[in-house]
Amino acid sequence: MKRTRRNFSPGLARAAIFVFAACVLAVGQSSPEASLPQVHLDADGLAPRPIEELTGTTIARQYALAWHDLAEALEFDRSGRIDEGFVGFAKDRLTQRISEQKQAGLHVRIVDHGHHLKAVFYSTDGTAMQLVDQAQLEIQTFDGNKLLDTQNASHSYVVLMTPGADRWYVRDLEEVSSKSF
């Protein structure tokens, strides 16, 4: 049997390489790491216990993950998204809110422009850290597909985070007037 040889044109090869590269780029950009909001942590003067550098890095990353999950949960009415990053009061409240907004046919889109976290209290036994977050958020509220309202402003939050088996969780997330600080 005669063996036939297939010839690939250089143009086809270039197109294939381009498609592959685009897919890699798309996968990379769709990963949670790529879409995490910017979080900057300032822990100067933290009391009664100073923070270790690794703990600070972990907290900033997991707070960013928590906001990423929160934004998805509020936009797509998926309360399951907050299971990984939230516990306690924060989780209970968000779960209830998502359930009620789903029932009402609402959803909220958060365009996250970043967070400036200031650690203000870290308990000696390492079981609780309180932080103040100055976040720049654009919050769009929809009823179905109808845009009801857009708020583009600075938001202040008092945050309580506690460590779990392998990560830090948001235990309390309370928005406050920026005049509070």
Is residue 35 within the footprint of another protein (CB under 8 A)? no
Is residue 19 within the footprint of another protein (CB under 8 A)? no
Is residue 149 within the footprint of another protein (CB under 8 A)? yes
146-163 and 106-122 strand pairing:
unpaired
Give the three-class secondary structure for 73: helix
- 13, 15, 17, 148: which one binds another protein (CB under 8 A): 148
- According to DSSP, the residues that pair with 134 across neighbouring strands are 116, 156
Is the CB of residue 121 less than 8 Å from the CB of residue 156? no
* Residues between 153 and 172 that touch another protein (CB under 8 A): 155, 158, 160, 172
Is residue 142 within the footprint of another protein (CB under 8 A)? no
Give the three-class secondary structure for 176: strand
Give the three-class secondary structure for 41: strand
Q: Residues interacting with another protein, by CB under 8 A?
A: 48, 89, 92-94, 96-97, 100-101, 103-106, 108, 120-121, 123-125, 127-128, 130, 132, 139, 141, 143, 148-149, 151, 155, 158, 160, 172-177, 180
